[in-house]
Amino acid sequence: MKSQAAAAVAGQWAGEQADAATATAAQSLTAKLPARTLALVVYLVLLLLPIYWMLNMSLRDNNDIMTRLALYPEQPTFHNYVKILTDPAWYMGYVNSFAYVSLNTVISLAVALPAAYAFSRYRFLGDKHLFFWLLTNLMAPSAVYLLPVFQFYSALGLIDTYLAVALAHTLFNVPLAVWILEGFMSGVPREIDETAFVDGYSLPRFFIVVFLPLIRAGVGVTAFFCFMFSWVELLFARTLTITAAKPIAAVMTRTVSASGLDWGLLSAAGILTIVPGALVIYFVRNYIAKGFALGRV
Amino acid sequence: MGKIFDNRAWFLVLPMALLVAFNALIPLMTVVNYSVQDVFDATHRIFVGADWYREILRSDRLQSALLRQFVFSGLVLLIEIPLGVAIALVMPRKSGWATSLTLVLMALPLLIPWNVIGTIWVIFLRPDIGLLGHFIDHTLGIRFDYPTVPLEAWVSVMLMEVWHWTPLVALLAYAGLRAIPDAYYQAARIDGASAWAVFRYIQLPKMRGVLTIAILLRFVFSFLIYTEPFVLTGGGPGDSTTFLSIYLVKIAVGEFDVGRAGAFSIIYFLIVLAFSYVFYQVLQRVGTGEKA
């Protein structure tokens, strides 16, 4: 309590002497920097170890893997990767995954943007109930919907199409997108909207020309999250596809053959599923933290 | 905040509402339909009322799966929340390449398909080819065989879950820490506050909002868990790691027992709904209270 009161006073004081004391205070408070850095490095190493082990496996052939435990591939081979990237039965899995993930991201953003704007700017009949209903879908167990969605989509003739998986994934991605976007949009002052309307902008034109550029970080983060959740989900993706739209994650079961499991091949396929995530994450790295806080920090 | 009351806003939410209704309402009504009928084949079905509900609520397997699920989600929160906060506290506070690298590395597990998460841990834990499995089994000399020993299966699933999701908690807590103005730390320094006092009276209160989101997201996600433990243990040995979703899929798809699965689904959904409601209420309060 005491330090909170002091903080308010010191806040004013600091405002006046801003350049003198900035940044150094936070540092000197935590002077034990080496210990902190060490703890962080240890954590990151532990975090990467299981992924490293899979990378290690992916660069060895199955005989080598089964005969001895090696901390690093002594005779690295790209044989597993070559096999995956040259066999259509394998690489089409990646193409399929990308196709439905992209389609899902586009659909989710297209319906979530106007909805999030409505929630952030207007009150309307049943708005709170609608928002709550939306959230319940984010938390609905996929397993509950699995069988009925399969039967429903079968009746519509959607099974084994990109659209089927993309639509099924909107079940949780649309609520998520509305939620994150609403957080970012509420951070933009209403005065901007009002000024634009006085200047004679129509709502659609204002939204596209003025508003979207203002929240582009939020749109990027939302697209990232739609990509992420559609990419990692397997229960729907596997159930709603047979061959033509089968995701890579489901194709991975192919590594079980008569001679047992091909660990090297399985690992290479796994590593290749990590690469797209690592690439998109780089583009949103400065917004990740805020995005996970759903735009509400 | 001065939101305008305008029912025309419904036109803006309509496409979204229709899409979600298409995906959620129609299948949900199908489930309700199944849960009150005994289906023999496409043309023969009889109305059985609440029989399936009565049966499933009395079922030992459901009760033990439910208990297992609550223990699992409770443990997940007890381990991941303090650990995530601790990690956020040691992360670099200023922007720079080290910070970017840390953020990207930490977010990596969150972007791996869930079945690949399971595969990674299968490979990591196997006593013959896995680094950790080999370490425990050969170097430490403790016999380790997680597919057959229930306790070891539990430890393995927990370890995987903590590895997978603690970064989410850490990233959220970190976002909260970054939002604390420097002046607070300067004031604390003038007061001669200890590191503990800084944490207790400055950092923790400022993280309240994001930690609420973290706790509730972690609870819900762990409550719905399916793919990762399914790949790692298949719900076994026996039923020892069969969580609610795994059990439900077993009944619905494995045994195609749609009546029992329907009743189970509705009960499962109602539990999640109850928690979602608490989630929503808490979040509303945090959203308004934190801005002061």
Question: How would residue B286 be classed by pLDDT, with cut points 50, 70 and 90?
Answer: low
- According to DSSP, the β-strands at A122-123 and B4-5 are parallel
Asked which of A17-31, A55-69, A140-154, B136-150 is least confident by mean pLDDT, the reply is A17-31
Contact indicator for B116, A267 with CB cutoff of 8 Å: no
Crossing angle between the packed helical segments B51-58 and B258-289, to the nearest 10 degrees: 80
- The amino acid present at B20, given as its one-letter code, is V
Give the mean model confidence (pLDDT) for residues B236-263: 83
Q: Between B215 and A118, where is the model more confident?
A: A118
Task: Output the pLDDT for position A21.
Answer: 44
Contact indicator for A146, B265 with CB cutoff of 8 Å: no
- Measuring CA to CA, how many Å separate B161 from each of A26, A49, A129, B77? 33, 15, 33, 11
Task: Output the pLDDT for position A108.
Answer: 95
Indicate if the pLDDT at residue B164 is higher than 90.
yes
- The chain-wide mean pLDDT, for chain B, equals 85
Task: Output the pLDDT for position B270.
Answer: 87
Question: How would residue B258 be classed by pLDDT, with cut points 50, 70 and 90?
Answer: confident
From chain B, the residues in CB contact with A263 under 8 A are 123, 129
Task: Output the pLDDT for position A19.
Answer: 41
**Nearest residue of A to residue B129 by CA position?**
A69
Contact indicator for B168, B107 with CB cutoff of 8 Å: no
Q: What percent of chain A has pLDDT over 70?
A: 83
Give the mean model confidence (pLDDT) for residues A227-236: 88
- Measuring CA to CA, how many Å separate B124 from each of A40, A70, B136, B150? 22, 13, 11, 18
Indicate if the pLDDT at residue B217 is higher than 90.
no
Task: Output the pLDDT for position B42.
Answer: 65
Task: Output the pLDDT for position B4.
Answer: 83
Tens digit of each residue's pLDDT (9 = 90 or more) over A194-221: 899 999 899 999 999 999 998 888 898 8
With CB atoms and an 8 Å threshold, state whether B129 touches A263.
Answer: yes
Tens digit of each residue's pLDDT (9 = 90 or more) over A93-148: 889 999 999 999 999 999 999 999 999 999 998 888 898 888 888 877 888 888 88
H/E stretch holding B47 reads strand B45-47
Give the mean model confidence (pLDDT) for residues B120-132: 88
Q: Domain A86-292, what architecture?
A: Orthogonal Bundle (1.10)
Contact indicator for A140, A176 with CB cutoff of 8 Å: no
Question: How would residue A165 be classed by pLDDT, with cut points 50, 70 and 90?
Answer: very high
- According to DSSP, the β-strands at B45-47 and B37-39 are antiparallel
- B225/B228 Cα distance (integer angstroms): 7
Contact indicator for A291, A180 with CB cutoff of 8 Å: yes
Buried b (16+ CB within 10 A) or exposed e, B75-104: ebbebbbeebbebbbbbbbeeeeebeebbb
Q: Between A256 and B75, where is the model more confident?
A: B75
Q: Between B253 and B60, where is the model more confident?
A: B60
For A117, which of B12, B15, B28 is closest by C-beta distance? B12
Domain ranges in chain A are: 86-292
Closest CA to A46 of B159, B126, B154, B81: B159
- A22/A101 Cα distance (integer angstroms): 44
Indicate if the pLDDT at residue A13 is higher than 50.
no
Task: Output the pLDDT for position A53.
Answer: 93
Indicate if the pLDDT at residue A22 is higher than 70.
no
Report the gap between the CA of A139 and the closest CA in chain B (Å).
Answer: 7
Indicate if the pLDDT at residue A15 is higher than 70.
no
Indicate if the pLDDT at residue A33 is higher than 80.
no
Q: Which of A96, A104, A124, A194 to mutate to test the interface with B (most CBs of B within 10 A)?
A: A124
Indicate if the pLDDT at residue A289 is higher than 80.
no
Report the gap between the CA of B127 and the closest CA in chain A (Å).
Answer: 10
Task: Output the pLDDT for position B291.
Answer: 40
With CB atoms and an 8 Å threshold, state whether A273 touches B287.
Answer: no
Report the gap between the CA of B176 and the closest CA in chain A (Å).
Answer: 6
User: Taking chain A, what is the end-to-end CA distance rounded to the nearest angstrom?
Assistant: 23
Give the mean model confidence (pLDDT) for residues A245-257: 74
- The amino acid present at B282, given as its one-letter code, is V
Structural domains in chain B plus CATH codes: 61-289 (1.10.3720.10)
- The chain-wide mean pLDDT, for chain A, equals 82
With CB atoms and an 8 Å threshold, state whether B23 touches A132.
Answer: no
Give the mean model confidence (pLDDT) for residues A21-40: 63
Contact indicator for A173, A100 with CB cutoff of 8 Å: no
Indicate if the pLDDT at residue B168 is higher than 70.
yes
Task: Output the pLDDT for position A296.
Answer: 62
Question: How would residue B103 be classed by pLDDT, with cut points 50, 70 and 90?
Answer: confident
Enter the ipTM: 0.85
Q: Between A264 and B288, where is the model more confident?
A: A264
Neighbours of A124 (CB within 10 A): 20
Give the mean model confidence (pLDDT) for residues B261-266: 87
For B13, which of A22, A130, A232 is closest by C-beta distance? A130
- Owner of token pair 């106007």: A114
Task: Output the pLDDT for position B287.
Answer: 53
Indicate if the pLDDT at residue B288 is higher than 60.
no
What's CA B150's distance to the chain center, in Å?
A: 22
Tens digit of each residue's pLDDT (9 = 90 or more) over B7-44: 888 889 999 999 988 888 888 888 888 888 877 666 76
Q: Is the pTM value of this prediction over 0.80?
A: yes
Q: What percent of chain B has pLDDT over 70?
A: 93
Query: Is the CB of A17 inside 8 Å of chain B's CB atoms?
Result: no
